[in-house]
Structure 1
Amino acid sequence: MARFIKKGKQEIGLSPDDLKFRGKKKANEVLLRIIDFDETSLEEDALQLVRDVLKYKEKDTVTWLNVDGLHNAAIMKEIAETFDLETLVLAEVMHTQARPRVIEYDNCILISIKMLQQNEESHLINVENLSIILTDTVLISFQEKRGDVFEPVRERIRKQKRRIRHGGIDYLTFALLDIVIDNYLYVLSVLGEKIETLEDNLLLNPNEVVINEINNYKRELNFLRKSIKPAKEMIFTLAKMESEFIKEATYVHYKELEDNISQANEVSDSYREILSDQLNIYHTTISSKLNDVMKFLTVFSVIFIPLTFIAGIYGTNFDFLPELHYRYSYFIMLGVMVVIALGMLVYFKRNKWL
């Protein structure tokens, strides 16, 4: 299946609010984790049922429900009923191939963005869809599988970092998005190091291996840009959104997201230009080497044209040639050939053809 557009035939004609999982299943079971905190208290637990979160709804605290696994329609329906959300919102969450975007509903904001992570062992880039539902009482984050990408945020909460413990639900949303965009920059930096080291190999040994690497990096970069560019549009829309779910004081942090995603976008554009330049350098280098070979062969051929002409004359089968029976004719002929060859080389050198 295509890497950039993935749509199954069975998805054609589905109603937008159908709670049907559309994507590749990456988790065997759904895991519900809750973190509830304020300035002085913290409660962290794994939930068995969605309704177990109801006891946190009435508290004047920040409640973060994280859902790992999106394939269970029954759980999604229960989440919609528990938090009084439209099924259309959860249907968007279950569509993992959707483009990054932000949508404001009557009682929530839905944020969808792609998470990029560098696998330290295989060095492959993993892409996962992240959805965040921001309400006035709870933040719900949806991941395709269990991972530790948000563990730094959890550690800040556990260590009672003042800003996140006092910031509220909208600041927690910023912290999660900040982690995602930081990973964009990290993945680009890792890929960038590989791209920049190509230049030395390109100049020293421009071979088929180098051109294959350039094409592979171009393909990877185009795949990253598929996630980064729409994410930039989403972040800029979110930062300009005048919503009751985001406090005025928090917008300054969303402006930071604008700067970071713009940097990621600019870096991806820069590396794309570098790869294009490297591709041009490769073709230029190969053409230059071919020109050098052709120049050598041309000079070699031009020198031998008069020598072949002399050899052709004295290689004819006429009985009477003026110098044919002269004792030193052979040596004279060789001498003339050497003088002609050396003379032509000197002439080429003076005209800087060599």
Structure 2
Amino acid sequence: MKIRLVNAGIFTPVDDIELTLAPPAEGFYWIDADVEDLALLQPVFNLHDLAVEDCLSDEEQRPKIEIYESHYFIVVNSIRFDDEEIFLRALNVFLGRHYIITVTKQKINELRTLKPILWEQEVSSPDRFLYLLVDLVVDNYFAVGDRIEVKIEKLEEDILMHTKKSHLSEIIGLRGEILWLKKMLGPQKEVVNTLNKKDLRLIDDQLQKYFSDIYENAVKISETFETYRDLMGNLREAYQSSIANRANEIMRVFTAITTIFMPLTVITGIYGMNFDNIPEIHTRYGYYGVIGVMVTLGCGMLYVFRKKEWL
């Protein structure tokens, strides 16, 4: 657990948690904690039991905002994409009048990225800290969306050029990830909308208007992933169509080969009959003549098929 006094974007470490009970003369306290630290933090800041229970739960938490008497409890999902799987990591935030507590089970990149922004914008209030943090979390969805779009385009190109059976599992896996993410985006969008529209006494009225911009971005993200879902459906259709075309191409080749060998089979069948009076059967060079006719006939038919683009 790290305790910092933040004033005008400048961080001052605080060693004694008891000092955070009273509002500082200037700035606010930021406590960056793990879930194990809640046992110490709950009695100090009178954190609500249900909020603490949500933080400690192993179940996946949906984004939400809970309003209690002395603080707000906000859950948003940070996103990460490693080209194979999409990960959502819960970021739990307790917002008070003179403090903000961030509680995570894993490291959240947005918290690391936020530090220079706090210094650059000379942040001195916890509600502005919350605004900048949520803004970073939502903006990161755009970056992940761009990477997903690139992956979809590459997958589409691979399917059109060289279709493989493994492509189907990639399509199904990525489509499942997108559907799951789309499902989680709805509650997160509502959280931002609540921060934008609801009268919240711990958030300055002037600052609250800025949440409308984040809400617009959240709506765009939701629409973008809806488009990705449709694109994955199109990819699956393209895969099935490519497989069908490939099968048709193989059958066309087999059909052409069969057609070429049909007259050759007739010739060999005729000269394979056990009759004494077959014309040219005792000819000295009859064997070579028949072979020549068969080769000429086969090559001629192959030429005709290639010219008509049947092969």
TM-score (norm 2): 0.80
2:13 to 45, 52, 56: 45
The 1:353–1:117 alpha-carbon spacing in structure 2 relative to 1, beyond 3 Å, is: closer
Provide, for residues 74-113 of structure 1, a one-character-per-residue CA deviation record: whole Å limited to 9, x for no partner.
Answer: 31432443xxx43223323333622111222344332111
Total equivalences in the alignment: 310
The 1:315–1:151 alpha-carbon spacing in structure 2 relative to 1, beyond 3 Å, is: closer
Query: Percent identity, aligned pairs only?
Result: 25
Letter in 2 for 1:283: Q
What is the aligned partner in structure 1 of residue 63 from structure 2?
Answer: 100
Conserved? CA contact 1:68–1:144, under 8 Å: no
Alignment of 1:74-113 (within 5 A): 74-81=39-46, 85-95=47-57, 97-113=60-76
Conserved? CA contact 1:113–1:129, under 8 Å: yes
User: Are 2:233 and 1:271 equivalent residues in the alignment?
Assistant: no
Conserved? CA contact 2:196–2:215, under 8 Å: yes
Report the CA distance between 1:235 and its aligned residue: 1.9
The 1:109–1:335 alpha-carbon spacing in structure 2 relative to 1, beyond 3 Å, is: same
Q: 2:89 aligns to what SS in structure 1? A: strand
The 1:123–1:33 alpha-carbon spacing in structure 2 relative to 1, beyond 3 Å, is: farther
Q: C-alpha distance in 1, partners of 2:28/2:88?
A: 27
Q: C-alpha distance in 2, partners of 1:102/1:147?
A: 19
Q: C-alpha distance in 2, partners of 1:301/1:123?
A: 45
Report the CA distance between 1:322 and its aligned residue: 4.7
Provide, for residues 110-168 of structure 1, a one-character-per-residue CA deviation record: whole Å limited to 9, x for no partner.
Answer: 2111122467xx98765421112233343332222455532443323334x26x44xx4
Q: C-alpha distance in 2, partners of 1:191/1:146?
A: 22
The 1:148–1:269 alpha-carbon spacing in structure 2 relative to 1, beyond 3 Å, is: closer
Conserved? CA contact 2:75–2:93, under 8 Å: yes
Extract unaligned runs of 5+ from structure 1: 1-30
Q: C-alpha distance in 2, partners of 1:343/1:60?
A: 97
2:155 to 181, 195, 198: 198
Report the CA distance between 1:328 and its aligned residue: 7.2
Provide, for residues 2-33 of structure 1, a one-character-per-residue CA deviation record: whole Å limited to 9, x for no partner.
Answer: xxxxxxxxxxxxxxxxxxxxxxxxxxxxx042
Q: C-alpha distance in 2, partners of 1:154/1:303?
A: 75
Letter in 2 for 1:190: R
Q: C-alpha distance in 2, partners of 1:145/1:304?
A: 67
Alignment of 1:1-354 (within 5 A): 31-37=1-7, 44-49=12-17, 51-55=18-22, 57=23, 59=24, 61-72=26-37, 74-81=39-46, 85-95=47-57, 97-117=60-80, 127-145=88-106, 149-159=110-120, 161=121, 164-165=123-124, 168-208=125-165, 210-211=167-168, 213-222=170-179, 224-225=181-182, 227-325=184-282, 337=294, 341=298, 353-354=310-311
Q: C-alpha distance in 2, partners of 1:130/1:219?
A: 23
Letter in 1 for 2:202: F
The 1:79–1:125 alpha-carbon spacing in structure 2 relative to 1, beyond 3 Å, is: farther
Report the CA distance between 1:176 and its aligned residue: 1.0
Q: C-alpha distance in 2, partners of 1:231/1:47?
A: 34
Letter in 2 for 1:94: L
Report the CA distance between 1:297 and its aligned residue: 0.9
Letter in 2 for 1:301: T
Conserved? CA contact 2:42–2:48, under 8 Å: no
Conserved? CA contact 2:3–2:15, under 8 Å: yes
The 1:47–1:326 alpha-carbon spacing in structure 2 relative to 1, beyond 3 Å, is: same
Conserved? CA contact 1:80–1:86, under 8 Å: no
Report the CA distance between 1:325 and its aligned residue: 4.5
Letter in 1 for 2:12: E
Q: C-alpha distance in 2, partners of 1:299/1:42?
A: 78
The 1:268–1:286 alpha-carbon spacing in structure 2 relative to 1, beyond 3 Å, is: same
Report the CA distance between 1:224 and its aligned residue: 4.1
